[in-house]
Structure 1
Amino acid sequence: MDHPSLLSKTPPLPTDPGFWRSPVRGVRFTAVLGLVLLVGLTLVSVTGLISYAAYNPDLAAVNNKTPDRGWLGFYLFDWPTDPYWLYRLTQGFHVTVGIALIPVVLAKLWSVIPRLFALPPVRSLAHALERISLLLLVGGVLFELVTGVLNVQLDYLFPGSFYPLHFYGAWVFLAGFVAHVALKTPKALRAIRGGELRTKEGEGAAGVAGAHRAPDGGSGGSGVGAGADSGGEGDELASPRPAAATVSRRGAFAVVGAGSLFLLLTTVGRSFDGPLRRTALLAPHGWEDPGGGPNGFQINKTAASVGVRAADTTDGWRLTVSGPAGDVRLSRAQLLALPQHTADLPIACVEGWSTSNQSWRGVRLRDLAALAGYPDDPPGVFVESLQLRGSFRTGALRDNQVRDGRSLLALRVNGEELSLDHGFPARIIVPAAPGVLNTKWVTKLTFGAV
């Protein structure tokens, strides 16, 4: 028969340390995850900010999706054209690694959830500042992951434009991240140096469960959860009454690692051609079948989706080139009669996908600038498209992009005329630029307008 005192005992609340009974939790477990995120999220944050710089937002209003950024744009720099694969690398890394880190982020949050319910909620001014930094950190990283995945995986669902929301969310996250790193990195390093990630063989479930807190708040036992910090601190994350172990901490790390590997393998294929591209279940944009042949590579923005009709690109189409020399109107036949040049360049998108090098052929932008009245040192160019709706109907390129001999108004690709969905009758292709700045269905180039 149950003892009356046991029958009358109320279940523990989340504010009771005994409510959280997983033997996996512990300072060392959290510290390892934290150091993985320290490296991974730092690189993801840097490549994300670099991605924004690649749009040259300080060049023209059409490129600037965060007009109220103020001093947050202090780091912006003139985006280069070398190496030509730069944006393909940085943005592919940003999206792929960011998605692969999701299991690590969730495991880290799970490992510290008891602290969210600890009482009193604020013990001192320093503790209040720490909790504020955690609010910024946790809220920021979850917001960035959710908006980023929605942008990559689906048609964007959040109210407002993805660009400013993701940009400002990144700075909120970074504020909390920097503060948290400054406060916690020394402690994390002490925890990792303090012992092994699992108990010595033969210790059994109680040993695996780790340190039972002693009444004085210290750490009892010498298991994984034990507070083996070099500073002599107790393991504040280990349960005082751990349940029987069902998985070791190394097993928990294996589960998190397997989750990250799965997400990596279902994302990274978008940076490659061939069958691997179909494995990128978490980066499906551009899956519209472009068909076979030389134009058979990824398409993200079709002509139909932005209101471009085949009738708009027939014999009546003209390219207008504007500058000090006035307006020059050129038919496609006249463009083909100009000196033609070839550039082997990829297309890379903010969503993380990219193509391998395609062989583009057309007229160099700097040659068109000469027709407009800039025979030497051409300036930047404002590009307009036949596109009727959607973002980046217009775009601006810097002078260094115009001057690069690989920057073309492309008329052909891989030995064949451009297909309509790839920008027929003419499109921009520039080394190292985000895909949206490689404007398709070009109808006007105005040199010196940016």
Structure 2
Amino acid sequence: MRSRILAPRLPVFGGRLHDARTATAVGRWLGAAFAVCFVTGLVSHYLQHPPPWLADALPARPVWGYRLTQGVHVATGLAAVVLLLVKLWTVYPRLFVWPPVRSVRHALERLSVAVLVAAAVFEVFTGLINNVQWYPWPFGFIQAHFAVAWIAFGSVLLHVAVKAPEIGAHWSRRSAGTAALPARDAADRRSLLLATGGAVGVVTLTTVGQAFTPLAATDLLAPRSPRHGPQGLPVNRSAAAAGVTLRGVTGWRLEVGGPRPYALTLPELRGLPGAAARLPIDCVEGWSVDAHWEGVRVRDLVERAGGRPGRSAARIVSLEARGSYRVMHMGAEYVADPLTLLALTLNGEPLSLDHGHPARIIAPNRPGVLQTKWVHRLEVL
């Protein structure tokens, strides 16, 4: 007697699910994610790399501004990975139609789609890899990601304009074009959309805790945890990576340049009127965490050197031997803000070397890469 092995019953999608209605439904979500990513990405880029005309006008408030925009940027970018894969799956049969070109108009349309797909894949892939600080390419991530973002956004607008009639025909269940689709597809389409929404929810829940600390316990897939790191704060760039050693900071002095230049040893700096602030470190990779900082207000140091708070900007120079952010420009709004500190302690303890000992910058609404560590010179501009 033959024994029969019962195979597990897997879900079967009998419908086509490659129709215009499904593509439109997923495309709405993907378009919204790309729009949010584009706007928040612009905020991030111009806070991190402001043009000269904007540098002194960037706002230091709200304190949580960059934390919110960059956290949303990374969260929607990760969600877009799922949505883009599903969107490509729904339309991939159309990418291989034959003949590939039927007319000049058709050729231009396919070319625009090729640019859109290439730019979208490039953006989500490079953004994902940047989150774990792995750069296997020869070009600069920031410059390329920013430039291709404009191409992707323009391609989306062009695609929507070209496909507007078809999108309108399949926008909702009651649209005219939807009536011609087989009824059996409706249940399968709902299953696909529910599964896609579930996948987006899982990705968000397991990563957003790196910025939204109430969900820190669920950040299973996040590259950084706000709970882990020296002095209770993660570190992206260690002292070893920056070429800074304890021997190198022996005899450290802060040099302040300006109309009335001066220099201060660490004990002298600690003897100045102090200030404290609770501010987050907001990293461009998406993690963020609050900490308690104590030090000296930057505006007090600038004023002592002859600068005018509210009118004077500053240039901050780090001890690190190499790095793209060794020299940092701080606009007048940040200099004047009373929460902008040259910090000497973190969470009640002197700064560790990895966190910028002897002194580092901490300012509100500012990317983490501009919170310069191992400060040794401050120049009033």
State TM-score, norm by structure 1.
Answer: 0.76
Quick one: which of 112, 115, 125 aligns to 1:146? 125
Matched, 1:299 2:235: yes
Quick one: which of 308, 319, 324 aligns to 2:254? 319
Kindly state the Cα deviation for residue 184 of structure 1 after the two structures are TM-superposed. Answer: 2.3
The aligned counterpart of 2:61 is: 82
Q: 1:286 to 1:53 in 2, by over 3 A?
A: same
CA contact (8 A) 2:18 2:93 kept: no
The aligned counterpart of 1:347 is: 281
The aligned counterpart of 1:170 is: 149
CA contact (8 A) 2:270 2:295 kept: yes
Matched, 1:423 2:362: no
CA contact (8 A) 2:59 2:334 kept: yes
The aligned counterpart of 1:232 is: none
Gap runs ≥5 in structure 2: 1-13
Q: 1:77 to 1:248 in 2, by over 3 A?
A: farther
Looking at structure 2, the residues matched to 41 and 284 of structure 1 have their Cα atoms a distance apart, in angstroms, of 22
The aligned counterpart of 1:265 is: 205
Q: 1:22 to 1:249 in 2, by over 3 A?
A: same
Q: 1:99 to 1:376 in 2, by over 3 A?
A: closer
The root-mean-square deviation of aligned C-alpha atoms, in Å, is: 2.5
Matched, 1:46 2:25: no
Q: 1:146 to 1:76 in 2, by over 3 A?
A: farther
Kindly state the Cα deviation for residue 24 of structure 1 after the two structures are TM-superposed. Answer: 2.0
Matched, 1:290 2:224: no
The aligned counterpart of 1:24 is: 17
CA contact (8 A) 2:216 2:227 kept: no
The aligned counterpart of 1:436 is: 369
Q: What amino acid maps onto 2:208 in structure 1? A: V
Kindly state the Cα deviation for residue 310 of structure 1 after the two structures are TM-superposed. Answer: 1.4
Looking at structure 2, the residues matched to 437 and 279 of structure 1 have their Cα atoms a distance apart, in angstroms, of 28
CA contact (8 A) 1:428 1:442 kept: yes
Looking at structure 1, the residues matched to 174 and 223 of structure 2 have their Cα atoms a distance apart, in angstroms, of 43
1:235-285 Cα offsets, whole Å, 9 max, x none, are xxxxxxxxxxxx8111111222222122112211111448x5464344314
Q: 1:136 to 1:95 in 2, by over 3 A?
A: same
Looking at structure 1, the residues matched to 183 and 55 of structure 2 have their Cα atoms a distance apart, in angstroms, of 49
Matches for 1:8-157 after TM superposition, within 5 Å: 23-59=16-52, 78-157=57-136
**Residue 169 of structure 2: SS of its match in structure 1?**
helix
Kindly state the Cα deviation for residue 433 of structure 1 after the two structures are TM-superposed. Answer: 0.6
CA contact (8 A) 1:370 1:378 kept: no
Q: 1:256 to 1:92 in 2, by over 3 A?
A: same
The runs of 4+ residues in structure 1 deviating greater than 6 Å are none
Q: What amino acid maps onto 1:362 in structure 2? A: G
Looking at structure 1, the residues matched to 308 and 113 of structure 2 have their Cα atoms a distance apart, in angstroms, of 56
Q: 1:224 to 1:323 in 2, by over 3 A?
A: farther
Identity across aligned pairs (percent)?
Answer: 41
Q: What amino acid maps onto 2:359 in structure 1? A: A
CA contact (8 A) 1:37 1:104 kept: yes
Kindly state the Cα deviation for residue 23 of structure 1 after the two structures are TM-superposed. Answer: 1.9
Kindly state the Cα deviation for residue 288 of structure 1 after the two structures are TM-superposed. Answer: 10
> Which deviates more, 329-338 or 410-419?
410-419
**Residue 376 of structure 2: SS of its match in structure 1?**
strand
> Which deviates more, 415-424 or 85-94?
415-424
CA contact (8 A) 1:144 1:169 kept: yes
Kindly state the Cα deviation for residue 224 of structure 1 after the two structures are TM-superposed. Answer: 5.3
1:26-84 Cα offsets, whole Å, 9 max, x none, are 11111100111121111111111111011143239xxxxxxxxxxxxxx9994211111
Kindly state the Cα deviation for residue 115 of structure 1 after the two structures are TM-superposed. Answer: 1.1
Structure number with the higher helix fraction is 2
Matched, 1:331 2:324: no
CA contact (8 A) 1:288 1:300 kept: no
Looking at structure 2, the residues matched to 289 and 304 of structure 1 have their Cα atoms a distance apart, in angstroms, of 19
Q: What amino acid maps onto 2:83 in structure 1? A: V
CA contact (8 A) 2:15 2:184 kept: no
Looking at structure 1, the residues matched to 147 and 333 of structure 2 have their Cα atoms a distance apart, in angstroms, of 28
Q: 1:434 to 1:330 in 2, by over 3 A?
A: same
The aligned counterpart of 2:8 is: none
Looking at structure 2, the residues matched to 224 and 79 of structure 1 have their Cα atoms a distance apart, in angstroms, of 55
**Residue 103 of structure 1: SS of its match in structure 2?**
helix
1:130-172 Cα offsets, whole Å, 9 max, x none, are 2222112100010011111111024222212111111111112
**Residue 257 of structure 1: SS of its match in structure 2?**
helix
Q: What amino acid maps onto 1:79 in structure 2? A: L
Q: What amino acid maps onto 1:135 in structure 2? A: A
Gap runs ≥5 in structure 1: 1-20, 61-74, 197-209, 212-218, 227-246
Looking at structure 2, the residues matched to 188 and 172 of structure 1 have their Cα atoms a distance apart, in angstroms, of 21
Looking at structure 2, the residues matched to 350 and 86 of structure 1 have their Cα atoms a distance apart, in angstroms, of 13
CA contact (8 A) 2:272 2:296 kept: yes
CA contact (8 A) 2:318 2:373 kept: yes
The aligned counterpart of 1:248 is: 188
Looking at structure 2, the residues matched to 290 and 195 of structure 1 have their Cα atoms a distance apart, in angstroms, of 54
